[in-house]
Structure 1
Amino acid sequence: MKTPPIVTPREWEAARQQLLVKEKEVTRARDALAAERRRMPWLAVEKNYEFVGPEGTASLLDLFEGRRQLIVYRAFLEPDVYGWPDHACRGCSIVADQVAHVAHLNARDTTLAFVSRAPQPDIARVKARMGWSMPWYTMTDEFDADFGVDQWHGTNAFIRDGDSVFRTYFINNRGDEAMGGTWSYLDITALGRQEEWEDSPEGYPQTPPYEWWNWHDDYGDAALSQEWLAKVAAAGATTGRPPEDRGPAGCC
C-alpha cells in the first residue's frame, strides 16, 4: 500500500485546515439541500393502508403514534430474503444497527418506524436477537409497491394534518447509507430540525438550537430542562448561527 507522506504536526494541521474549507462547503450545501426539501410539494396519501403491529392492526395514521411526522424505512425481513428466518437482509440490518435512540426524533414530534412482510412473531424474535428497539410493523397490502420499496429498500417521510397524511420525501439506494442518525433523519423531513438557524418557510415550528436536547431517558423533565437552558444561555450557544459556526453548548 502506498501511504501518504509523513509530516510534522504543523504540516498536518495546515493540511487539515485546507481540507476543512471544503468540508464546510459540503456542510452548507447539505443545509441548503435540506432547505429545498422543506419546500418540496406534498403528495396526499389517499389509500387506507393496513399494517400489523405488536398491538394488532394499525393504519398508516396509527404509525405516527400521535406525532406530526413519520419516517418509514422498508426493511427486507421476510421469507426468500437471504438470512431468513434468523436475520433480516445484511444491508437492512446494517441500517437498523446504526439507528440512534428514537427518543430524540420523538422530541421533534417525529416517529421512526420500520416495515417488512415478516409476521410479527418473527419480527419480534429477530429484534430481540439483534437488540433493535424501533417500532417495526408487518405490511399487509401494496404499501411497498406504492411507495417505491417493493423491490429495494428505501426511506419515506410523511406528515399529517389532522387525519390527512401526505408524503413529503423519499430517499433510497446510497441515500439510505446516511440514515440512522437523528440529524440525518430530521433533514429529510418536511419540518427539518425545527431550529431557528434553519432556512424554513414562514410559520414552520422552530426553537433555539441546543435548548431541546436532552438525555434520551429524561425528555419531559421540566426541572432538568431549566437547568440546561441556563447552561446553554451561559455558554452563549443560542446565537441563531448554523451549528458548525458555533462553539460547544456548555457541554462540559
Structure 2
Amino acid sequence: MTAHITGTREDWLAARLELLEAEKELTRRSDALAQRRQALPWVRVDKDYRLETDEGTASLVDLFRGRSQLLVYHFMFGPDFAAGCPSCSMIADGFNGFAVHLANHDVMLWAVSRAPLAKLQAYKRRMGWTFPWASSFAGDFNADFNVWFTEEQQREGDVDYNYRREAAFVWRPGQEGGGEGAEAKIAAMCGTDTATFHRDRPGMSAFVLEDGAVYHTYSTYARGLDGLWGAYQWLDRAPRGRNETGVWWRRHDEYDKPEKSVGAPCCGRTGT
C-alpha cells in the first residue's frame, strides 16, 4: 500500500487545477526573467582570445560562423583530467539535437574547455557528439569568464564563482587534496583529485556580434545551469522527481558498468 496521499479523480483534478495556476505564474515569471536577461547592458570584448578548433586556431569572432549570437557552454574538462566531467557530459548529451535548430535561428552553440584539443576530440568521438568544441588551453578565456582558478587562488580564498567569494579550499592532512564526499567521487571519475577538479567550474556565457564588435551579454553558473539539464526537466515531472541519492548519474556509455571505487583513476563532478 502506498504511503503517498491518494484520492478520487475529482480530488486529483481539483488539486491539478490549483497547481496549474502556480505553473502559469512560474511561466509568466520565467518569461519576464528572460526579458531582463536580454535587457542587461552589453560589455565589449576587446581581448583577442585564440582557441583551438577542428578547423584550426580561431578567434571569438570565428566561433559565430556567420551568426550574430554565440552561446558557450563552459565544459569542465581540465588538462589534467582523464575524461570530461560526467555532469557536464549529461548536459552536453542534449546539444546534438538542438544545436542545429539554434544554428538556423542565428545562434551558434559551442562547448569550450581547457583540455588540449586532442583530448576533447577523443572524448567527443567516445560520446558520439557532433557539436563544435574548442580548446582554450593556455589562454585566459576560462579565467576571464570565472570558470577556472589557480591553486594559489584556492589556497588564499580568492575564488569568485557564481557571483560570490568562496572560502579557501582546505587540504586535509594525508588527503593530498583528495577530499571527501560526492565531489571527490566525481573527481575520481575524471581521473583527478578534488583540488585539481575544483579549479575548473561549469557555466555558460552568451555573446553577440554587432558591427564587427563582440559583446558579452550574460553568464550563469552552478544551479543557474539547471534549465540546461534536459534530463532534469523530465525528472521534475516524474512521480518521484529527481530522487537523487548520491552521485546517481553516469556518462551515457557507463550505466551498464559496475561502479568504480572513489580512489580509482577513472573519470566527472556534481553541480551546486
* TM-score, length-scaled by structure 1: 0.67
- Secondary structure in 2 aligned to 1:113? strand
Aligned mate of 1:98, from 82, 94, 99: 94
Find the counterpart in structure 2 of residue 142 from structure 1.
Answer: 140
Distance 2:24 2:218 in 1: 25
| Stretches of structure 1 lacking an aligned partner (at least 5 in a row) | 185-252
Letter of the 1:37 counterpart? R
| Stretches of structure 2 lacking an aligned partner (at least 5 in a row) | 149-198, 234-272
- Secondary structure in 1 aligned to 2:3? coil
- Answer yes or no: is 1:41 the counterpart of 2:41: yes
Alpha-carbon deviations, 1:192-233, whole Å to 9, x = none?
xxxxxxxxxxxxxxxxxxxxxxxxxxxxxxxxxxxxxxxxxx
* Alignment check: 8 A CA contact 1:95 1:177 kept: no
Distance 1:24 1:89 in 2: 35
Q: How many residues align?
A: 178
- Answer yes or no: is 1:156 the counterpart of 2:153: no
Alignment of 1:191-210 (within 5 A): none
- Secondary structure in 2 aligned to 1:27? helix
Distance 2:118 2:67 in 1: 26
Aligned mate of 2:219, from 161, 164, 170: 170
Letter of the 2:220 counterpart? I
Alpha-carbon deviations, 1:53-87, whole Å to 9, x = none?
00110000001111000001111223333xx1xx2
Find the counterpart in structure 2 of residue 108 from structure 1.
Answer: 105
Find the counterpart in structure 1 of residue 5 from structure 2.
Answer: 5
Letter of the 1:9 counterpart? R
Letter of the 1:149 counterpart? V
Find the counterpart in structure 1 of residue 166 from structure 2.
Answer: none
Find the counterpart in structure 2 of residue 120 from structure 1.
Answer: 117
Find the counterpart in structure 2 of residue 215 from structure 1.
Answer: none
- Secondary structure in 2 aligned to 1:101? helix
* Alignment check: 8 A CA contact 1:76 1:88 kept: yes
CA-atom RMSD in angstroms? 1.9
Distance 1:77 1:115 in 2: 9
Letter of the 1:168 counterpart? T
Distance 2:213 2:33 in 1: 26
Distance 1:57 1:97 in 2: 25
Name which of structure 1's ranges 91-100 and 41-50 shifts more when overlaid on structure 2. Answer: 91-100
Find the counterpart in structure 2 of residue 129 from structure 1.
Answer: 126
Find the counterpart in structure 2 of residue 246 from structure 1.
Answer: none
Letter of the 1:97 counterpart? D
State the Cα distance separating 1:2 from its structure 2 match.
7.2
State the Cα distance separating 1:4 from its structure 2 match.
2.4
Letter of the 1:175 counterpart? G
* Alignment check: 8 A CA contact 2:114 2:142 kept: no
Distance 2:229 2:222 in 1: 14
Q: Is the alpha carbon distance of 1:33 and 1:57 closer, same or farther for their aligned partners in structure 2, counting shifts above 3 Å?
A: same
Find the counterpart in structure 1 of residue 176 from structure 2.
Answer: none
* TM-score, length-scaled by structure 2: 0.62
* Alignment check: 8 A CA contact 1:159 1:167 kept: yes
State the Cα distance separating 1:6 from its structure 2 match.
1.4
Distance 2:3 2:215 in 1: 50
Letter of the 1:176 counterpart? L
Letter of the 1:27 counterpart? T
Alpha-carbon deviations, 1:143-181, whole Å to 9, x = none?
011111114111000001132000000111101121156
Letter of the 1:173 counterpart? A
Distance 2:229 2:64 in 1: 18
Letter of the 2:50 counterpart? E
Find the counterpart in structure 1 of residue 171 from structure 2.
Answer: none
Find the counterpart in structure 1 of residue 194 from structure 2.
Answer: none
